[in-house]
């Protein structure tokens, strides 16, 4: 079933969204991209005359806590939807079931953070650090067992299930995948966002126009190793940017001062360089850096060669030569995947490199390239620079996008297709 084919009139839809938005210390939403991305789906349901039970997670709570309560987003959700939103402060409580049962066409109920329950993820909590393997196994079995009841109860609130949470599609959680089995094929579907995400991934996996360039930034090689290895089988150019640069630089014998580095990944970096060479992939590393004498926006700064960073200094952004080097490769590309910033873009004085990459991606897109930007920080980056409108697609998924690009079957997608 597709969402366009489905008529929600008189139906209650359980919609799993990804409202895991960043909040500041006063609980203001600092980037509402993920919420806005779910609006077409939610609005279609309301326009049809359906009602909605919204399920989401926020952060990584270990149990109920004010910090990760979805109550903080109600007001903004009401503004985006243009209608009032009811709230159930316990997704398993009496109140939630009552409110869901009483929903009338056009009404919306937001459930409290699903991850307040360990059953959502199906992982045991509160295990003693010195728990034995037996105890761990028993705890896991127990939560898997209670997860069935949890999932069934969520499903019982609604007549149909819509998954629009691409951000968690790579997790086989209760509300993202397991719940789907309580609905037959005609009553479960992707939301519009999920449909778009799946299509965009398909473009960079199966409909590649060459040259294909991937730009991998961010802080650590270790968190991106699988995707880098996989991309080496697909791309023509692989640009390494951001903090992970320095692990490569050090592995190649360069001086990196205090720059972020994973010393246990030096061999891995060399191995990746060799693999790239063997596969004929042009792996592009930074040649210069904007360095700082402390990890702060107000630090003293200067530019230097990437492998000649003085003691006491650290690279927090790429330098102008690298910007040009990267931009030339990007502008000559026909398919582009960008994940991760080129520097500490949260500090205004170290945004230049990420902005330059973004602008090159926009220019390539103007010239006909398909560009997919994904990963939480990359999204914040293109939004910060006002470049989102100039790229082909901004994915809302970080890990999910990367796993999809790795070619893995995502449980959230499989559960709908089954």
Contact set with ligand AMP (CB under 6 A)? 218-220, 223, 242-243, 260, 315-316, 340-341, 343-344, 346, 375, 377
Q: Cβ–Cβ contacts within 10 Å for residue 164, how many?
A: 29
Query: How many whole angstroms separate alpha carbon 229 and alpha carbon 153?
Result: 41
* Residue 201 and residue 374 in contact, taking contact as beta carbons nearer than 8 Å: no
Measured from the CB atom, is 328 or 346 closer to ligand AMP? 346
Is 256 in contact with 249 (CB distance < 8 Å)? yes
State in angstroms the smallest separation of the CB of 410 from ligand AMP: 19
- The dihedrals phi and psi of 134, each to the nearest 5 degrees, come to -60, -50
Residue-wise burial string across 84-123, b where 16 or more C-beta atoms lie within 10 A, e elsewhere: ebbbbbebbeeebeebbeebeeebbbbbbbbbbbbbbbbe
* Nearest alpha-carbon partner for 398 in 384, 381, 385: 381
The alpha-carbon radius of gyration of the chain (Å, integer) is: 23
293 is written with which tokens? 């004498």
Alpha carbon distance 65, 390 (integer Å): 39
Secondary structure of 133-167 in HEC code, one letter for each residue: HHHHHHHHHHHHHHHHHHHHHHHHCCCEEEECCHH
Q: How far is the CB of 344 from ligand AMP (least distance, A)?
A: 4
Classify 86 as helix, strand or coil: strand
Residue nearest to ligand AMP (CB): 218
Task: CB nearer to ligand AMP: give 227 or 260.
Answer: 260
At its nearest, how many Å lie between ligand AMP and the CB of residue 381? 9
Nearest distance, CB of residue 217 and ligand AMP, angstroms:
6
> Least distance (Å) from ligand AMP to the CB of residue 326?
14
301: DSSP letter: E
Calpha distance 78→98 (Å, rounded):
21
CA 373 – CA 213 distance, rounded (Å): 12
Cβ nearer to ligand AMP, comparing 86 with 322 = 322
Q: Which is nearer to ligand AMP, 207 or 346 (CB)?
A: 346
d(CA 123, CA 4): 35
Which residues are designated catalytic?
Answer: 34, 220, 376, 399
For ligand AMP, the closer of residues 162 and 401 by Cβ is 401
Do 374 and 401 touch, CB atoms closer than 8 A?
A: yes
Q: Which is nearer to ligand AMP, 30 or 206 (CB)?
A: 30
> Looking up tokens 């939301």, which residue turns up?
191
Of the pair 145, 346, the CB lying nearest ligand AMP is at 346
Nearest Cα to Cα of residue 342 among 372, 362, 322, 328: 322
At residue 64, the 3 state secondary structure works out as coil
| Minimum CB–partner distance for residue 342 and ligand AMP (Å) | 7
| Alpha carbons 370 and 6: distance in angstroms, whole number | 30
Nearest distance, CB of residue 70 and ligand AMP, angstroms: 23
- Residue 74 CB, shortest distance to ligand AMP, in Å, is 28
């Amino acid at each position: 079933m597709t969402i366009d084919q489905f008529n929600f009139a008189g139906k209650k839809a359980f919609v799993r969204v990804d409202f895991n938005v960043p909040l500041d210390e006063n609980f203001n939403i600092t980037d509402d991209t993920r919420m806005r991305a779910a609006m077409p789906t939610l609005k279609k349901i309301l326009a049809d005359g359906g009602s909605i039970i919204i399920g989401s997670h926020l952060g990584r709570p270990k149990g109920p806590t004010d910090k990760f309560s979805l109550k903080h987003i109600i007001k903004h959700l009401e503004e985006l939807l243009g209608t009032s939103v009811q709230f159930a402060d316990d997704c398993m409580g009496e109140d939630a079931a009552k409110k869901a049962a009483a929903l009338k066409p056009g009404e919306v109920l937001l459930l409290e953070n699903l991850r307040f329950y360990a059953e959502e993820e199906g992982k045991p909590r509160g295990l003693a650090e010195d728990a034995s393997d037996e105890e761990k196994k028993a705890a896991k079995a127990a939560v898997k067992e209670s997860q069935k009841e949890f999932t069934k109860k969520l499903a019982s609130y609604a007549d149909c299930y819509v998954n629009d949470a691409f951000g968690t599609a790579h997790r086989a959680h209760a509300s993202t995948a397991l719940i789907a089995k309580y609905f037959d094929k005609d009553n479960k579907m992707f939301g519009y966002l999920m449909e778009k995400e799946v299509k965009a991934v398909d473009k960079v996996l199966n409909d590649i126009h060459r040259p294909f360039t991937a730009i991998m930034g961010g802080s650590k090689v270790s968190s991106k190793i699988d995707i880098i290895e996989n991309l080496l089988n697909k791309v023509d150019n692989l640009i390494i940017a951001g903090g992970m640069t320095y692990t490569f630089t050090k592995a190649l014998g360069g001086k990196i001062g205090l720059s972020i580095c994973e010393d246990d990944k030096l061999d891995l970096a060399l191995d990746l360089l060799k693999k790239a060479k063997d596969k004929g992939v042009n792996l592009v590393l930074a040649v210069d850096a904007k360095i700082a004498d402390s990890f702060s926006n107000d630090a003293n700064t200067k530019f230097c060669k990437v492998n000649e960073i003085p003691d006491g200094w650290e690279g927090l952004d790429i330098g102008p030569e690298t910007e040009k080097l990267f931009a030339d490769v990007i502008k000559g590309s026909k398919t582009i995947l960008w994940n991760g910033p080129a520097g500490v873009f949260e500090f205004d004085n170290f945004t230049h490199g990420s902005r330059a990459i973004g602008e090159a991606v926009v220019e390539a897109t103007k010239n006909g390239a398909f560009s997919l930007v994904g990963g939480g920080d990359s999204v914040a980056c293109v939004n910060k620079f006002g470049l989102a409108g100039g790229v082909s697609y901004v994915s809302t998924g970080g890990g999910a996008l990367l796993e999809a690009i790795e070619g893995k079957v995502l449980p959230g997608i499989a559960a709908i297709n089954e």
